Amino acid sequence: MSAQGVMVMGMPLNRLAVPVLVLLILAMMVLPLPTFMLDVLFTLNIALAMIVMLVSLNSRRPLDFSVFPTVLLLTTLLRLSLNVASTRIILMQGHTGADAAGKVIESFGNFLVGGNYVVGFVVFLILVIINFIVITKGAGRIAEVAARFTLDSMPGKQLAVDADLNAGFINEGEARARRHEIGREADFYGAMDGASKFVRGDAIAGIIILMVNLVGGILVGLFQHNLGLGEALGRYALLTVGDGLVTQIPALIISTAAGIVVSRASSEQDLSREFSTQIFGRPQTLYVAAAVLGSLGVIPGTPHLAFLTIAVVLGGLGFWLMRRQGALPGIEPLALIEEEPTTIDVTWDDIPPVDVLALEVGYRLIPLVDRNQGGAALAKITEARRRFATDMGLVVPLIRVRDNLDLKPNTYRITLKGVDVAHGELPSGQVLAVDMGDVLGRLDGAPGVDPLTGLPGIWIETGREEEAELRGFVVLTTPELIARQVEAVFRQHAPELLGRTEVQQLLDTLARSHPGLVEDVTPRHLPLTSVQAVLQQLIAENISIRDSRTLFETLAARAPKSQAIDDLVETVRAALGRSIVDRLFEGSNTLHVIGLAAATETRLLNEMGDEGEALLSPATLDALNDAAEHALAEHEGAGHPPVLLTSPGLRAMLSRLLRRNLPRLAVIAYAEVPADKMVQVDTELTIEEGA
């Protein structure tokens, strides 16, 4: 029966092993142990150290021995418990002879140092110095640096996993496994960084315990057992040295294993195979080493036998390797046979999905979009999405954020349905001071532009924000600039973000608050695609669809009579007229607008006929754009909002024609003006005769 199947008190035996071991180790510090048990435990301590060393040598990567930090703590605790138990026996029974603390301590005191406690002290100090200063300090430094770099690289690795998942290279299970592996790696090196302190403390404790055993033993021998000073020093010093050596040698082995684990890079081979392949795999290197040793061996006064023997061995090994490598080309190579892969049909699931909106950043900008490092840009983007939803009534889809190693370190780009629509570069250590039009003085720096408003700005060094704000500039940090660029993209391309899914979500929300209203529109009179087209046209002209109740009540009333998209849009605009006008004129009772000259209006209506703007001549289109640009400049120069007022029959056509060159010009119809507002035409849009 396996250990897994054996149950003790309702728990598997293998789950009880570690808790029981820890309790026994702690009990050893309190309970006296017989010498026989002490011999067994010292032997077990040495065996555990050897096992840990062999496991570390055969691990292909550090995570193969992920339990090592805990093993390090337990073995250190075991050695200290043995020190306490042996100290108790040495002080109580050390006067009886060299075997008072057991045969293991006696053999280490007599055999390893020849019964000379002075030599034993020197050997013990050398072992402690090697362990404490060389191995433990080096392993601790490697673990510290590895932990720091592993934690710093976690965001990039996680973004890379997300990118592979989004691209379809891996599935969700593989992505979850990779994220777990990244977390385990960071936890391992962090634990190793702390666990290395155990070994350093163990070395210091070993020195202190040695001095306590020596001084305490001499005092006990002199005053309790009436031994002479020389006899007490000989007995207790030898026992103390044996006790120190029997614990420091396993400690040195464990420290070496720790250094091997933390300095080991991931590989497909164990350390022994890599060692033999990389160090003894080149015959030329062995020949050079043999030649150097042979030259030293013939110099008078040198140990000829040692140098020449090793030179011959290295030369013979190099000759054997060269013959072995030279024999390989003589064998006629077999033709490479590639196994025919199993034919798997390509399915629609193999096509990676295209993100509606995606933000890609260079590696230096990762902290700005990583939630684990603050991710200030993500919070700003969320605020912009919430602000846009409140303003326009449209929830922008989630924006996929990933790193892109093909980009320059400080650059970013924004893609819409896989196509690059905006990009930029953020200088390191600089912020953008934007000129809002009422600044005092100038600032030195490279010119820049606010991506959201298009206003000019100046790049200044971080630390000059207060100076810029005192001069009237608005200072934008790099997270704010990224968020404003994203906001500019989804405001400019808002109609493309309103897909069928978003329209259906809007309908579901409205149906919960106004049951039956949605059914009166779709699918009873209008298909979902027509509703989507109406909403997209409204969004394209910067009309908020937040008042969805009024919008759908109007569609429900108009759709049974007409299903033409333009007609539906104009009807809805008339119903939303008060909010449209209030948005453009900010609550003013007098509407200062650009009017269309009577002759120009007549000319446009005559040329269009029943076909609409499709029949307008190129000359008329050019003249219309020139006249609109001139009228808009004059109107804005007088401090009035950029609004053109026209008849309902021309509004949609003029809006489409002028939107490309003059996106800030709003075109409204007479039907959209509330009755309590007074209209004042301050500027006329006139196409000159002959144009």
CA distance 326 to 26: 61
pLDDT score recorded for residue 609: 64
pLDDT tens figures, 145-203: 666 666 666 666 777 666 666 666 677 777 777 777 777 777 776 777 666 666 667 76
pLDDT score recorded for residue 325: 63
Residues 6 or more apart whose Cβ sits within 8 Å of residue 232: 95, 217, 218, 221, 222, 225
Residues of the chain with pLDDT > 70, as a percent, come to 76
**CA of 480: how far to CAs of 116, 160, 299, 451, 612, in Å?**
74, 24, 75, 10, 44
Q: What's the pLDDT band for 14 if we cut at 50, 70, 90?
A: low
Residues 6 or more apart whose Cβ sits within 8 Å of residue 195: 68, 69, 72, 73, 143, 258
75-79, 220-224, 534-538, range with greatest mean pLDDT: 534-538
pLDDT score recorded for residue 379: 86
624 by DSSP, 3-state: which?
A: helix
Q: What's the pLDDT band for 299 if we cut at 50, 70, 90?
A: confident
The two structure tokens encoding residue 641: 């909002």
**pTM for the full predicted model:** 0.52
pLDDT tens figures, 461-513: 998 888 888 888 899 999 999 999 999 998 999 999 888 888 888 888 888 88
**pLDDT over 90 at 535, yes or no:** yes
The residue assigned the tokens 């994220």 is 179
Buried b (16+ CB within 10 A) or exposed e, 300-327: eeeeeeebbeebeebbebbeebeeeeee
Q: What's the pLDDT band for 645 if we cut at 50, 70, 90?
A: very high
pLDDT tens figures, 391-431: 899 888 888 888 888 888 889 999 998 899 999 999 888 99
pLDDT tens figures, 324-378: 766 544 444 444 444 444 555 667 666 777 888 899 998 888 888 887 777 788 8
Q: What is the mean pLDDT of residues 84-112?
A: 67
**pLDDT over 80 at 290, yes or no:** no
Half-sphere exposure of 138 (CA within 13 A, CB side): 14
pLDDT score recorded for residue 280: 60
